């Protein structure tokens, strides 16, 4: 069983909808990540939170809005998405510090935008 | 130049074969190295971390060559269940960003 939990597993939304993806980890990791993955491509980094502060934003469109309410939770708020935003959205976490160690992934939220 | 480069494959091999994947990285400050396995429509899962001295886990052997800036993964006695995409992942010292290769697809045939 994965130690990073994502909900929902599947989401279908229209271009005018507002929805949120949620992620939770209880490993004490202080770095949390959002990745987007399209078919047959590697995960593509969107955002990194370090100690609950946004540390990396890979020039993601503003229709994606991340939020880190506390050290265990990470949200991704979605608004006015486009069909090309349909993808698997992966949450991950890792240790922080001199040696970040490995990335732990959740099972992902598969998003379809109609 | 990409941070991490992999041969995308696919590698089509029969059961029982030995197969090797290589991955090169461009930044000499890279510190930590990993091989992840990703099954179709699933999340990536850590297969092995790669240590300077090389490491082995059953049929899998990972090696690091810092001078030439590449890592390798050797799979012996391939099983049908080894069919997956293998992702090379690299990170730098004290830097919270993981660089992914494009992934190498392995198909093990009966």
For the cut 90, the answer to whether the pLDDT of residue B29 exceeds it is no
Distance between CA atoms of A31 and A99, rounded to whole angstroms? Answer: 12
Q: What are residue A12's phi and psi, to 5 degrees?
A: -115, 130
Distance between CA atoms of A37 and A110, rounded to whole angstroms? Answer: 9
Residue B96 has a pLDDT of 79
Maximal C-alpha separation, chain B: 44
Contact A105 B44 (CB under 8 A): yes
Q: Residues A12, A112: contact at Cβ < 8 Å?
A: yes
Q: Residues B35, B19: contact at Cβ < 8 Å?
A: no
Residue B14 has a pLDDT of 98
Q: pLDDT tier at A98 (50, 70, 90 boundaries)? A: low
- B101 in A contact zone (CB under 8 Å): yes
- Residue position matching structure tokens 């850590």: B46
Tokens of B42: 């699933």
For the cut 60, the answer to whether the pLDDT of residue A1 exceeds it is no
Three-state DSSP class for residue B81: helix
Q: Give the chain B residue whose CA is nearest to the CA of A87.
A: B41
Q: pLDDT tier at A30 (50, 70, 90 boundaries)? A: very high
Q: Which of A33, A42, A110 sits opposite B103 (nearest CB)?
A: A42
């Amino acid at each position: 069983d994965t130690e990073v939990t994502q909900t929902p597993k599947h989401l279908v939304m229209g271009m005018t909808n507002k929805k949120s993806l949620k992620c939770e980890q209880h490993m004490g990791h202080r770095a949390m990540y959002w990745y987007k993955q399209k078919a047959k491509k590697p995960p593509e980094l969107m955002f990194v939170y370090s100690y609950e502060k946004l540390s990396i934003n890979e020039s993601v469109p503003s229709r994606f809005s991340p939020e880190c309410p506390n050290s265990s939770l990470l949200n991704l708020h979605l608004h006015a998405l486009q069909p090309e935003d349909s993808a698997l959205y992966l949450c991950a976490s890792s240790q922080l510090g001199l040696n970040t160690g490995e990335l732990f992934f959740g099972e992902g939220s598969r998003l379809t935008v109609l | 130049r990409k941070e991490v480069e992999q041969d995308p494959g696919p590698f089509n091999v029969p059961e029982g074969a030995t197969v090797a994947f290589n991955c090169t990285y461009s930044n000499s400050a890279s510190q930590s190295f990993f091989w992840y396995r990703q099954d179709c429509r699933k999340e990536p899962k850590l297969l092995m971390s790669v240590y300077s001295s090389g490491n082995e886990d059953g049929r899998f052997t990972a090696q690091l060559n810092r001078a030439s800036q590449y890592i390798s993964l050797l799979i012996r006695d391939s099983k049908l269940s080894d069919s997956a995409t293998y992702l090379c992942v690299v990170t730098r010292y004290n830097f919270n960003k993981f660089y992914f290769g494009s992934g190498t697809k392995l198909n093990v045939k009966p």
